[in-house]
Amino acid sequence: MSVINQSQVESEKQTHPEPILEAKNLRKYFPLHQSNPLAEKHFVHAVEDTSIALYPGRATALVGESGSGKTTVARMLARVYDLTAGTLYFRGEPVHLSHRAAVLRAYRRHVQLVFQDPFSSLNPIHNVRYHLSRPLRVFGHAKSKKEVNEQVMALLNKVSLTPAEQFIEKYPHQLSGGQRQRIAIARALAAQPEVLLADEPVSMLDVSIRLDVLNLMLRLKDEEKLALLFITHDIASARYFAEDTLVMYAGQMVEGGPSDGVIQQPKHPYTQLLLSAAPDPDRLGPDGKSLMTLPARGEIPSLIRPPNGCRFHPRCPHAMPECRDHFPGRTDLGGGHWTHCFLYGDGGAQSPIIVTKAPSRMKIEGQNGFETPNEKKQENA
């Protein structure tokens, strides 16, 4: 397995200059259940003003601690969660945010999600044949029994479950964790998507088989020219699996760019903190000292009442007065590397956002204007 280097990234960018899936200014607030209907409404401010672009044939790692909003972003991109605000674009066109089954199905034909837990994402009462043939029929890729059978066998071969005949009639409880996750990946591929969103796809697997599953996803990304979003809390592994890395903290995107730059030359203090948990003696902080010496202070804050300004300021050893009042704008650091931090330049164009409280009535921005939010989870077709 080799490290993805800058020249590969640049060559891919030249080959695929346009994102296939793009999200701009995503926001997600979850209303908290309250027994007293007259009490002030509270929300979990899970994702705030987050943008992301995914390119064909390229992997983007989205990293951060638990509770940073990574999974929420993936579920918004998959349209499992509604958007509180923001816009999705597919092939440059705004995505219709209707809840009609036909609209959702048309979207999920192109954008598929692989869940973290292979144990609960497969229905225990159905066998492998059912799990793989259903999306083939739903998305119209196979009609006759013979076609379905051929494609199910091809999918099993694609995810290296061979000989396919040995797996096709098995039930989830007869498979290992790694085999189940391969079935989950094959089920996503059955839709023939262009975008694959993988939410911590190996975190529940034994260490010994994680690398096999990750290498499988990378091979499929290259063979199928998939735009792959790889969600992980292991920032050190991102360099090996993704051309680009994005770092999220408490619902805000704080740093991003080519993985080599973000991981070898991290700029944002939170990225440095994350990397300090994965020591590398060759990696140095801005003061020339090893990142292993950075102190780990505090924990991710409550997102019901998140800190104002830069949400990292209660933990940041470099926090300044302005960090408490304003979220810094984006500063471009060169080579596609950027960060939101007042330590670099003037913090870009400062954002006036000071988030303390959700509006009393939340809105979803869609093609048809504003609609009432619907938190109902949609079945992952």
Which CB sits closer to ligand SF4, 336 or 348?
348
Judged by CB under 6 A, does residue 328 bind ligand SF4? yes
At its nearest, how many Å lie between ligand SF4 and the CB of residue 347?
7
Residue nearer to ligand SF4 on the CB measure, 67 or 193: 67
Q: Which of 46, 316, 355, 364 lies at the binding interface for ligand SF4 (CB under 6 A)? A: 316
State how far the Cα of 309 lies from the Cα of 366, in Å rounded to an integer.
27
Task: Judge residue 346's burial from the number of C-beta atoms within 10 Å of its C-beta, 0-12 exposed, 13-18 middle, 19 or more buried.
Answer: exposed
- Strands 244-249, 59-63: pairing is parallel
330 binds ligand SF4 (CB under 6 A): no
Q: How far is the CB of 229 from ligand SF4 (least distance, A)?
A: 24
Q: Which long-range contacts (CB under 8 A, 24 or more apart) does 203-212 make?
A: 203/116, 203/232, 203/233, 204/116, 204/117, 204/118, 204/119, 204/177, 205/118, 205/177, 205/178, 205/181, 206/177, 206/178, 209/176, 209/177, 209/178, 211/1, 212/178
Q: Does 320 bind ligand SF4 (CB under 6 A)?
A: yes
Least distance to ligand SF4, CB of residue 308, Å: 11
Judged by CB under 6 A, the number of residues near ligand SF4 is 14
103 binds ligand SF4 (CB under 6 A): no
- Give me the least distance between CB of 30 and ligand SF4, in Å please: 24
User: Which of 226/316 has CB closer to ligand SF4?
Assistant: 316
Min dist. Cβ of residue 273 to ligand SF4 (A): 10
The distance of closest approach from Cβ of residue 313 to ligand SF4 in the complex, given in angstroms and rounded to an integer, is 4
Who contacts 44 (Cβ-Cβ below 8 Å, separation ≥6)?
Answer: 29, 30, 32, 303, 304
Query: Which range binds ligand SF4 by CB under 6 A, 13-21, 35-43, 53-61, 340-348?
Result: 340-348
Q: Does 248 bind ligand SF4 (CB under 6 A)?
A: no
Rounded to 5 degrees, φ, ψ at 158 are -60, -35
Q: Binder to ligand SF4 among 319, 350, 363, 381 (CB under 6 A)?
A: 319
Rounded to the nearest whole angstrom, what is the least distance from the CB of residue 279 to ligand SF4 in the complex?
Answer: 21
Query: Torsions phi, psi of 290, nearest 5?
Result: -65, 140
Q: Does 338 bind ligand SF4 (CB under 6 A)?
A: no
136 binds ligand SF4 (CB under 6 A): no
Residue with tokens 């908290």: 32
Q: How far is the CB of 315 from ligand SF4 (least distance, A)?
A: 8
Residue ranges of alpha helices (H) inside the chain are 6-15, 70-77, 101-108, 128-138, 145-158, 177-189, 207-224, 235-241, 259-264, 269-276, 321-325
The closest of 188, 38, 64, 187 to 126, measured between CA atoms, is 187
Nearer to ligand SF4, 335 or 348 (CB): 348
**Dihedral (C-alpha) 345, 292, 270, 18: value to the nearest 10 degrees?**
80
Does residue 257 interact with ligand SF4 by CB under 6 A? no
For binding to ligand SF4 (CB under 6 A), which residues are involved? Answer: 268-269, 310, 312-313, 316, 318-320, 323, 328, 341-343
